Structure 1
């Protein structure tokens, strides 16, 4: 059963909504909506999507064709505009004066080939290098590196005479040419042999580690994305999850990222069949639970034998709002947060999330005990069957 956040929005230090947070992140997308078509028959491509890309990391954006990945990337680089929501890239809004986006701060490899067929490889690289403000000698040095790195043919070959795979590698070289702060790559490894694919990933790891560059990459090869620092699993215009590969595999007890994706997709598919709300003891509404801001991420809730188990994996502040408008904090990062967990005990074998788990018998709004665990953090809330109250408000 998939329960998403309510309309209540509570700002925290980690919600991506403050100027400080935007400056810490390479990319921050909040409540993004994008649609095509007419008002009568809209095609909703992005639906309340939230995304956070930390600086100096590789972010793997995974999802089937048509889920909205390319549209999202186009909005991030400023080629398209959202109908609703906001995007911050490298501390500024794409397309605004002085943001450098689109521009030389970003290297973008689109999914479609966007090269001049009558140019040779050398002319292509010189052309884009000059646009980015590079010196001719610098371009020539960079060109030699890219020819060898991407296994490109002679620099005198015309782009129109190259194979599709070679043209895509030239497009990749253009994105890498000026050594940008943010590299956005849409399917760069399609049609690439396994050795070169691994070489590309090694290079991406190197530039994020040594040069503090940030990379957003989409790929059809789900398992290769294990090398990313963070994975965003996207389906039907939404992010189903945004975590490190190791955390995703551990959270959902899967041996592959593909299995994680399948499990999350099934849960999303059950959303429409689920009740709008589950009200548990003292009118606390699980539908109002959120990570940071109330709309940011989904939470998965299961019911077994009259017990509601709330499983999540998050190091941010977690908020629960009740039907009276009061807010309770779990794993609070802010010492002044109202509310929280009482009767928290360690659980060595609950059968769901392993030894790093806690059982919570009740939530006491009259006391405050900030409970912070190391990351990764697993928490399970258990409410006795006699405190479970069903119904939709």
Structure 2
């Protein structure tokens, strides 16, 4: 895939605070790209810069072939943004909000009508187009927010924590729509989220903290690089298993339930151990490393508040 966004040595300071420190990353066209980091890591500042809302102190950004700082109008025409806090007017209907947004793009009346119809169908908001935005449920509002961002058919859709505050069923519904956009229409999706199970669906992930890139790769690459699988064995005879593990120089921990936990460099390392103690196993489980483990290992913290 070709690169639809390239960011090189991007930086931004606010007084003595270096919010973004010469970061580099790229986004491939048609991909689902996750941009992760704790609160205060520099994510919002980066997005504000690449979306033309904030002027960088240095670096180079090219989006859809257009250079930031020189062709900003073309960049704005190439992107749609769904902010964490909605920008839609609660007193207007969904259709009125979409019409107001679409009027910014210089469309004719017929073009605007067609754009509203297309965005409404894509975001699945047709059934409540005539309802005031302020009367919608959380999930309906989020879909209307996405419809607003799609009104001009952008090449890249920025989603800033799109499912925060939604219940699990509504989150699932919103995500089904996002994935349909990305997979069926080839739209590039640039995602920030605090839900690691959402980030796990991404094609590629970049993790930042303190204004610097800490790691990047596919979800599998990051889990392979920064986590370990854990083999858990509940033996029939403790002494026999302990003797075997010590004979094999295997490091282990025993929890209060009498389960022996062994870290694995790779999943297949469990096979010879299990073969050696197969007659002494009451129960066994292999726990794979997760993106939560990756995130906490890299940032040294769980998700920060505020």
Same fold by TM-score, threshold 0.5 exceeded?
Answer: yes
State whether structure 2 residue 113 is matched by structure 1 residue 137. yes
- Per the alignment, residue 354 of structure 1 pairs with none
Task: For 1:203 and 1:143, locate their aligned partners in 2 and report how far apart those are by CA, in whole Å.
Answer: 12
- Per the alignment, residue 195 of structure 1 pairs with 169
1:63 Cα deviation (Å)?
1.5
Q: Which has the larger share of helix?
A: 2
* Counterpart mapping for 1:277-356 below 5 A: none
Deviates more, 1:45-54 or 1:201-210: 201-210
Task: For 1:140 and 1:264, locate their aligned partners in 2 and report how far apart those are by CA, in whole Å.
Answer: 43
- Per the alignment, residue 157 of structure 1 pairs with 131
Q: Relative to 1, partners in 2 of residues 1:241 and 1:98: Cα closer, same or farther, differing over 3 Å?
A: closer
List per-residue Cα deviations over 1:42-79 (Å, max 9, x = no partner).
22211121111111101011112221111111111111
- Per the alignment, residue 203 of structure 2 pairs with 229
SS of corresponding position for 2:75: coil
Gaps of 5+ in 2: 229-288, 302-306
Task: For 2:24 and 2:71, locate their aligned partners in 1 and report how far apart those are by CA, in whole Å.
Answer: 24
Task: For 2:144 and 2:182, locate their aligned partners in 1 and report how far apart those are by CA, in whole Å.
Answer: 21
Deviates more, 1:114-123 or 1:61-70: 114-123
- Per the alignment, residue 248 of structure 1 pairs with 222
- Per the alignment, residue 9 of structure 2 pairs with 31
Asked whether the 8 Å contact 2:6–2:61 carries over to 1, the reply is yes
- Give the RMSD, CA atoms, in angstroms: 2.7
1:158 Cα deviation (Å)?
3.0
Task: For 2:164 and 2:48, locate their aligned partners in 1 and report how far apart those are by CA, in whole Å.
Answer: 19
1:124 to 97, 105, 108: 97
Would you identify which runs of 4 or more consecutive aligned residues in structure 1 move more than 4 Å? 160-168
1:144 Cα deviation (Å)?
4.1
Asked whether the 8 Å contact 2:33–2:205 carries over to 1, the reply is yes
State whether structure 2 residue 236 is matched by structure 1 residue 260. no
1:162 Cα deviation (Å)?
4.8
State whether structure 2 residue 178 is matched by structure 1 residue 204. yes
SS of corresponding position for 1:129: helix
1:66 to 25, 40, 57: 40
Count of equivalent residues: 238
Q: Relative to 1, partners in 2 of residues 1:80 and 1:230: Cα closer, same or farther, differing over 3 Å?
A: same
1:246 Cα deviation (Å)?
0.8
SS of corresponding position for 2:117: helix
Asked whether the 8 Å contact 1:225–1:231 carries over to 2, the reply is yes
Q: Relative to 1, partners in 2 of residues 1:195 and 1:185: Cα closer, same or farther, differing over 3 Å?
A: same
List per-residue Cα deviations over 1:213-271 (Å, max 9, x = no partner).
2110111111221111001112111121110001111122341101111112249xxxx
Task: For 2:146 and 2:170, locate their aligned partners in 1 and report how far apart those are by CA, in whole Å.
Answer: 13
Asked whether the 8 Å contact 1:222–1:258 carries over to 2, the reply is yes
Question: Which TM-score applies when normalising by structure 2?
Answer: 0.69
Task: For 1:72 and 1:144, locate their aligned partners in 2 and report how far apart those are by CA, in whole Å.
Answer: 29
